Amino acid sequence: MHAAGADFDHLIPTKLDCRQCHESNETRIIGFDELRLAAPARGHQKTQLDELHASGLLAGSLPSAPDAVQGTGLERDVLGYVHGNCAHCHNGTGGPSSSFDMRHDVMIENTVDKKTESDASASGIRIVPGHPEESILFLAFSGETDNPEVKPMPPVGVQLRDTAAIEHLRTWITSLPSQR
């Protein structure tokens, strides 16, 4: 494959690899919930959820309006990105691979100045305010470490990392008031 100006080999995950994430969520469908569908599709007046319901693809009554991602600017962008890309596994349901909850409304309290809790990754602090280079979550997401105990996140499909998201996360962590 060719992306971002460089060739790379895209590895296709096995069914067992896919189960790591898809079985960590009650719906087993990644990225399909009322928060992600609560905005109008480009060029439409109704929300995506309303459009799906009106088309007959969703049965029953519509859920109540979801809580919006809070915060402003960079923090809201980071919380929204994490909710959309991490919370389908890290959702606090207790399922496989859901070690802690990273949904937008609890992500900060579950990561900032919080120790890692399992042997699934390196021991340390998930997010060290002001210090992305010491934050296990940042290192796992960015791949900027030689520590073999830091497991890459996501566990599959990281042949090409989202450099813009990495920089947003780095900037956000750097902006958090350090306790040092």
**Helix ranges, 86-144 (H):** 107-111, 136-142
Query: What pTM did the predictor assign?
Result: 0.76
- Cα dihedral 34, 39, 42, 43, rounded to 10, equals 120
Q: State pLDDT tens for residues 50-63.
A: 888 888 887 788 77
Taking the C-alpha atoms of residue 169 and residue 134, their distance in angstroms, rounded to an integer, is 13
Q: State pLDDT tens for residues 22-45.
A: 665 565 566 666 777 777 777 888
Instruction: Give the CA radius of gyration of the chain.
Output: 18
Q: State pLDDT tens for residues 161-178.
A: 889 999 999 999 999 998
Positive or negative torsion for Cα 96, 89, 24, 21: negative
